[in-house]
Structure 1
Amino acid sequence: MVSDTGSLPDKRQVAASFSRAADSYDSVAALQRAVGNALLRHLPGDFAPEDWLDLGSGTGYFSRALAERFPDSDGLALDIAEGMLRHARPLGGASRFVAGDAERLPLVCDARSLIFSSLAVQWCADFAAVLAEARRVLKPGGVFAFSSLCVGTLQELRDSWQAVDGFVHVNRFRRLEDYQRLCADSGLATLELATRPEVLYYPDLRTLTHELKALGAHNLNPGRPGGLTGRARILALVEAYERFRQPQGLPATYQVVYGVLKKEV
């Protein structure tokens, strides 16, 4: 089994996967909405940005939420997945929708008062570059607020696959300690950095795996097994996952990281 600190998915595969999922994403995005709304609540209470960037904007759900919360500010939505941008543009929220990479933002220095990024940066292999770009693009006094995922996410599914075979079937995520170290070294002031588990429950394993596919968040790891998964292995996986069943259903735990950083004047 490859360790959690191994290679993250290739960004071209991430872009293609989320582009394909654009039309189905919002129908199964309960976790994403809950986490994004929680991130909005983590913003400083008196913060009123002149302009904002929704980084990894996806279907534009939080671009529209930001536009509603800050009606007098100028909004920019940016995503690496063209399919997500095509879906979001007609729905509004931001004044511009731009294809771009969080590790190399197509923006000038000191351009935005707020960078808001919910459940996107876990797909970036070089989070130090994301932080450096955030620091470059933020105006003095600006805020970078992000939510992400860390090790322990989908641990029930990972452990169940481990009982079946030794392949990488579940996406890897960074350790919380990596987030802490990278944020401390970023040159941005850390106002908040914490993790909180979110647990969803499913009637069966098929419902969980269908949701992950509809989100575009199914297994994108290097080293994942190719081809179809045999029936015998699927039955073994179902049996292994059933050991985690609770009265509410089969649990899927997401370890969510919330960070609020500030570029000091």
Structure 2
Amino acid sequence: MAEALPVMSPEEASLPDKRQVAASFSRAAASYDGVASLQREVGEALLARLPIQPVERWVDLGCGTGYFTRALAARYPKAHGTAIDLAEGMLRYARPLGGAAHFVVGDAERLPLQNDICDLLFTSLAIQWCSDLPAVLAEARRILRPGGLFAFTSLCAGTLHELRDSWQAVDGFVHVNRFRQLKDYQQIGAASGLKCTALETETRVLHFPDIRSLTHELKALGAHNVNSGRPGGLTGRARLRALAEAYERFRQPQGLPASYHVVYGVYQKES
């Protein structure tokens, strides 16, 4: 029988209203893995950055379909794992595939876990959806044991700038998710009480034959725009044609580029 999971009471662990983000990723559960090559590459690069040290308990935060839940289980076969995601649809998909003792609905800004409970908190391409990054790092510090690691990847400003600038030329509305500046990660990390052992960025560029292929992938990932302030209703054909024309100025020999500015961080809770 799996070891009981130490959790807070439902009152303590109540989630903020992030239903739109959760619903978007829940809808994408079945299609996500088919288009998530970048997400896998980035997460694997984060795994490669982890130092070798004992891990008895780990948490995969924003586990999605459980790809890295299973990777962590393979890396730490004797450890106790917990997978957490805001999207119940993702957990329903991941749970039958295994990898963790527990699959739990939870918010990174208010984790449903006790203090000093794990040695590794791993999260890849999830915390960019959190509005309160200081709360995320405070929760990481709270649940980690002394010496434990908080390892994350996220996205920086400039991600999908080609799509953002093309939409700006079409109608001036916000159609692309906003992302933090690198300096925000640096400053918030420095104030978190955690020791930074690694913080670096890289740019990864994907290429698509046409704009429809790009927007289809973003929808399949559940990563299309969840900002407030975007225009309501369906985007008309004329607007999409204008978008395609505006995006053509970025075309490269490989196709239409979509740039992702990725930040990698590894922080440690000191004794």
Q: TM-score, normalised by structure 2?
A: 0.93
- 1:89-128 counterparts in 2 under 5 A? 89-128=95-134
Shift of 1:166: 1.1
Q: After the TM superposition, which segments of 4 or more aligned residues of structure 1 sit over 6 Å from their partners?
A: none
The aligned residue for residue 43 of structure 2 is 36
* Unaligned segments of structure 2, at least 5 residues: 1-16
2:230 to 217, 224, 231: 224
In the alignment, which residue of structure 1 is the partner of 2:28? 21
Contact 1:67 1:93 (8 Å CA) reproduced: yes
Instruction: Choose from 76, 82, 90 the match for 1:76.
Output: 82
Across the two proteins, how many residue pairs are aligned to each other?
A: 255
* Structure 1 unaligned residues grouped into runs of 5+: 1-9
Q: Deviations over 1:156-204 (max 9, x none)?
A: 0001111111111001111111010000000000001111001001011
User: 2: distance between equivalents of 1:89 and 1:24?
Assistant: 16
User: Sequence identity, in percent?
Assistant: 72
Q: What is the aligned counterpart of 1:263 among 235, 256, 269?
A: 269
Partner Cα separation in structure 2 for residue 47 and residue 23 of structure 1: 35
Higher relative contact order (CA 8 A, sep 6+): 1
The answer for the alignment partner of 1:7 in structure 2 is: none
Residue of 197, 201, 217 corresponding to 1:211: 217
Amino acid of the residue matched to residue 27 of structure 1? G
Question: Which residue identity does 2:40 align to in structure 1?
Answer: R
Q: Which residue of 2 aligns with 1:4?
A: none
Map 1:92-171; keep pairs closer than 5 Å: 92-171=98-177
Which residue of 2 is the match for residue 3 of structure 1?
none
- Identify the residue that residue 179 of structure 2 maps to in structure 1: 173
Equivalent residue in structure 2 for 1:88, among 79, 94, 98: 94
8 Å Cα contact 1:200-1:252 kept in structure 2: yes
- 1:130-174 Cα distance to aligned partner (Å, 9 max, x none): 000000000000000000001000000001111111111001111
Q: Over the residues paired in the alignment, what is the CA RMSD in angstroms?
A: 0.7
- Aligned partners of 1:215 and 1:189: how far apart in 2? 32
Contact 1:11 1:124 in 2 (8 A): no
Partners of 1:48 and 1:119 in 2: how far apart? 24
TM-score w.r.t. structure 1 length?
A: 0.95
Question: Matched residues in 2 for 1:230 and 1:54: separation?
Answer: 39
